[in-house]
Amino acid sequence: MAKKAKKAKKAVKKTAKTAAKKTAKKTKKVAKKK
């Protein structure tokens, strides 16, 4: 159980990081337009 929980936490962190990168790219594009 503990190992599975750790893996799940890592997966969540990875998805959060990729999502943050995507939003950062979007905000940069919007800033350039302004």
pLDDT of residue 5: 85
Amino acid at position 34, single letter: K
How high is the pLDDT of residue 15?
Answer: 92
Residues present in the chain in total: 34
- The predicted model scores a pTM of 0.51
What confidence score (pLDDT) does residue 24 get? 85
**What is the distance between the alpha carbons of residues 34 and 12, in angstroms, rounded to a whole number?**
33
* Beta-strand runs (E) in 1-34: none
Q: What is the pLDDT of residue 18?
A: 92
H helix and E strand count, the chain? 1, 0
User: Which tens digit of pLDDT belongs to each residue from 1-34?
Assistant: 688 888 888 988 999 899 888 888 888 887 777 6
